[in-house]
Amino acid sequence: MRIVVSAGPTREFVDPVRFLSNRSSGKMGYAVAQAAVEAGHETVLVSGPVSIPAPRGLAAFVPVVSARDMLAALRKAVKGADALVMAAAVADFRPARACRRKIHKGEMPGAIALKPNPDILAALSRGKGRRVFVGFAAETERAEAGAAAKLRRKKLDLIVANDVTRPGAGFEVDTNIATFVRPDGSTETLPLMSKAELARKIVAQVEALAGV
Ligand code: C5P
């Protein structure tokens, strides 16, 4: 299969030296890309800025910065692909205006006006066809409840939901505690495991959903 994986945060610039972003380390998405390579799939990794090395054996590595860059890169990457695993932590908002020069201390605005970024999964799922789409739902409470609504709205085949406030789950750590949420409403809660192990389970789900 040709599998596209997105990973990492996006950066949304306020001026050339400042940006809005989030805590994503890229570890979960990179683990999925690595598991896909190891399972013999042609794997494309589209990644926001992270400080970890890309897995070896990728068919392509596409670095991006902003959510809009990521949307453009993924539009191209999913064209010939069988599946998209969207593990990136896309910034939901960007500054309404990015200043072209550094804003000096004395002229700091009291507030930064924001506007919403495109929802990448929702945008891509319009032309989804028979491709398998997997999303993530990182919540700070009742992860499964939010995940079911997300799954319908973004027309996903599977959501990997996790409560990022639980010890051993979420950002920066090497382990995760996830629940698979499916379109029929069924859920499967997995125990604490390494992101590498969870990644292998996600790739196995993608294979099963694609009928491989
Ligand atoms: O709605 P929420 O951001 O919690 O959904 C998470 C899922 O949607 C993740 O798979 C994330 O990569 C994706 N997402 C997206 N575009 C956005 C925000 C999130 O594709 N602007």
| Token code pair at residue 186 | 């069924």
pTM of the full structure: 0.95
User: In this predicted model, what pLDDT tens digit does every residue of 109-143 receive, in sequence order?
Assistant: 889 999 999 999 999 999 899 999 999 998 777 76
Would you state the torsion angle of the CA atoms of residues 167, 173, 174, 177, taken in this order, to the nearest 10 degrees?
40
Q: What's the 136 CA to ligand 1 centre distance in angstroms? A: 7
- Atom of ligand 1 at shortest range from CA of 116: 21
Is 182 within 8 Å of 131 (Cβ atoms)? no
pLDDT of residue 13: 98
Q: Which residues pair with 83 in a beta bridge?
A: 3, 132
Is 149 within 8 Å of 135 (Cβ atoms)? no
pLDDT of residue 171: 79
Q: How far is CA 107 from the centre of its chain?
A: 35
User: In this predicted model, what pLDDT tens digit does every residue of 150-192 receive, in sequence order?
Assistant: 898 889 999 999 888 888 887 788 898 999 999 988 999 999 9
Spatial separation of the C-alpha atoms in residues 133 and 35, rounded to whole Å: 17
DSSP calls for the chain: -EEEEEESB--EEEETTEEE-----SHHHHHHHHHHHHTT-EEEEEE-S-SSPPPTT-SEEEE--SHHHHHHHHHHHTTT-SEEEE--B--SEEESS--SSPPPGGG--SS--EEEPP-HHHHHHTT-TT-EEEEEEEESS-HHHHHHHHHHHTT-SEEEEEETTSTTSSSSSSEE--EEE-TTS-EEEPPSEEHHHHHHHHHHHHHHHHT-
Evaluate whether the domain defined by 2-98+112-210 bears CATH number 3.30.70.20: no
C-beta 120 within 6 A of ligand 1: yes
Name the catalytic one among 22, 117, 162, 176.
Answer: 22
Q: What's the 11 CA to ligand 1 centre distance in angstroms? A: 15
pLDDT at position 209 over 80: yes
**Residue bearing the CA closest to ligand 1, atom 17:** 119
pLDDT of residue 165: 83
Per-domain residue ranges of the chain = 2-98+112-210
pLDDT at position 72 over 90: yes
How many residues are listed for the chain in this entry?
Answer: 212
Known active-site residue 22: yes
